[in-house]
Amino acid sequence: MHVLPRAAELQRRFPGELVVIGVHSGKFVEERRTENVRHACARLGVRHPVVNDRHFRIWRSYAVNAWPTVVLVSPDGYVAGVQAGEFDVDAMAAAIDGLAERYRREGLLKPGPPGFGPDPAAPPEPSGELRYPTRAVARGDRLFVSDAGHHRVLELRIEAPSQASVVRAFGDGARGFRDGPASEARFGEPQGLAAGDGVLFVADRRNHAIRLISLADGGVTTIAGTGELGGYPVPEGPGRKSALRSPWGLALSDRTLLVAMAGSHQIFGIDLAREHPLSLVAGSGAEDITDGAARGATLAQTSGLATSADLLFFADSESSSVRRVSLTAPMAVETIVGTGLFDFGDRDGAGDKVLLQHDLDLALIGERLLIADTYNSRLKLLDPSTRECNALPGEAGSGEALYEPGGVWAGPEGAFVADTNNHRVLRVDPLSGTLTPIEVTAPARSSA
């Protein structure tokens, strides 16, 4: 994800010399389905053509061994350079500029538009109010939704179990990074939400920032992050001066806002009682699945959080695992289900027999965890004490009714799921597995 805006910037700088072609060699089985790749491109705003290298043939032909890898290919088809890992835009631009000048002199480069049109089989735009929603959080008669595809957060009034109306939109609908009144603020693919007394916290994923919405006046302010992608790993420091790295999930614990920093495989706490300092809770910054002392443990793209007393449960999407960390000394990480970065699938059971596939979120229902088993397109219940995990009965556990659900939430108002690729939010009954779509209606427009 971090490479996409850099590739777009290079395409902007070299519109006639550079053709960007993405090669998608998916790790997870569901990532290798072309229709799912199309949805990912639409969700992330990818404009360049993408090849689905589902059998890793292109990967092997270029001797690639890491995600991401950039290969520069000359106009006559030879490899001119290879860069594994994330790259500096200016340094890459300098290399491309030098190669372009060389190939012009040799008569090989003929600048011009790339000539690629839109994908005729791209997913149709949704007809409703939502586009790729990623989270839904209820508080009283209000439902807050991260409408990520529209780069905004919606406040809905719950009218009935299956109906809600838009009260306010935070963000003007254009991707950007701007504080201010609700109608003027801008977000970039908002993800996790956490509702407090009179406030709503937002993990602004693409802007690498944590935003605070005042529900009294609708004003949006940034409490952590600079709007720029941070280094690796993310260090502790003053929240507003710290460059973050793809914050994804949020949870409140007393006066601390907990943040799942997916891009650096860490979990941080933001002290809301002070000047929002950023302190490390867990994760060394290395990507793996090793338990032990919280700060030395390795995590893997932590994406969802849920708190219970002095425990924090979290979903590590890249290791398809569910884990927990104690929030009191001695702080330690323990894995409940999940065994490795490349161990994934769809298998119920207990302990190490359980297989999930890129789970993005979880929520507590009593003593059990409701899991968004995202790439299996189903919901599951996990008992942390017995490590038993099973798909919900009915629709929610069928793997057909949902399409890559990105978020789940549960509370006194019920349980909700953000059905991301189906562009909708639903209620879910964890006992029967029944799903109830919520019709979202726009506010009535004045005829005056």
Residue spans of the domains in the chain: they are 4-105, 133-441
Mean predicted confidence (pLDDT) in 53-78:
95
pLDDT of 448: 36
Angle at 156 between CA 151 and CA 157, to 5 degrees: 175
Q: Are 255 and 224 in contact (CB under 8 A)?
A: no
pTM recorded for the entire structure:
0.94
The two three-digit tokens of residue 224, written as one number: 């952590």
Residue 389 has pLDDT above 50, yes or no: yes
Q: Per-residue pLDDT averaged across 110-125, rounded?
A: 86
Kindly tell me if the per-residue pLDDT of 361 is higher than 90: yes
Q: Are the C-beta atoms of 207 and 196 separated by less than 8 Å?
A: no
pLDDT at position 21 over 60: yes
pLDDT, mean of residues 87-95: 95
Residue 2's pLDDT is 84
Res 64 pLDDT > 60: yes
**447: pLDDT confidence band, cut at 50, 70 and 90?**
very low
User: How many Å apart are CA 96 and CA 83, to the nearest integer?
Assistant: 12
- What pLDDT score does 156 carry? 98
Tens of pLDDT along 219-244? 999 999 999 999 889 999 999 999 99
| C-alpha torsion sign, points 26, 422, 360, 213 | positive
Report whether pLDDT(32) > 60.
yes
Are the beta carbons of 193 and 137 closer than 8 angstroms? yes
Q: What is the rounded average pLDDT for all residues in the chain?
A: 95
Q: Which of 109-118, 219-228, 420-429 has the lowest mean pLDDT?
A: 109-118
| Rounded-to-integer distance, Cα 301 and Cα 374, Å | 14
Residue whose tokens read 């006066």: 255
> Per-residue pLDDT for 446 more than 70?
no
Q: Which pLDDT belongs to residue 276? A: 87
| pLDDT (mean) for 299-318 | 97
Strands 79-84 and 407-411: unpaired
The residue among 257, 270, 264, 256 whose CA lies nearest residue 287 is 264
Span 311-339, pLDDT tens digits: 999 999 999 999 999 999 999 999 999 99
Return the number of other C-beta atoms located less than 10 Å from residue 8's C-beta. 15
Query: Which fold does the domain 133-441 belong to in CATH?
Result: Neuraminidase (2.120.10)
Q: What number is the average pLDDT over the span 199-219?
A: 98
Model pLDDT, residue 318: 98
Average pLDDT score over residue span 132-147: 97
pLDDT of amino acid 444: 58
Residue 142 pLDDT exceeds 90: yes
| pLDDT of 208 | 97
**Is 262 a residue whose pLDDT tops 90?**
yes
Residue 330 confidence (pLDDT): 93
Amino acid type, 123: P
User: What is the per-residue pLDDT for 445?
Assistant: 53
Residues 6+ apart with CB under 8 A from 363: 306, 369, 370, 408, 409, 410, 415
Question: What's the fold here for domain 4-105?
Answer: Glutaredoxin (3.40.30)
In this prediction, residue 273 carries a pLDDT of 87
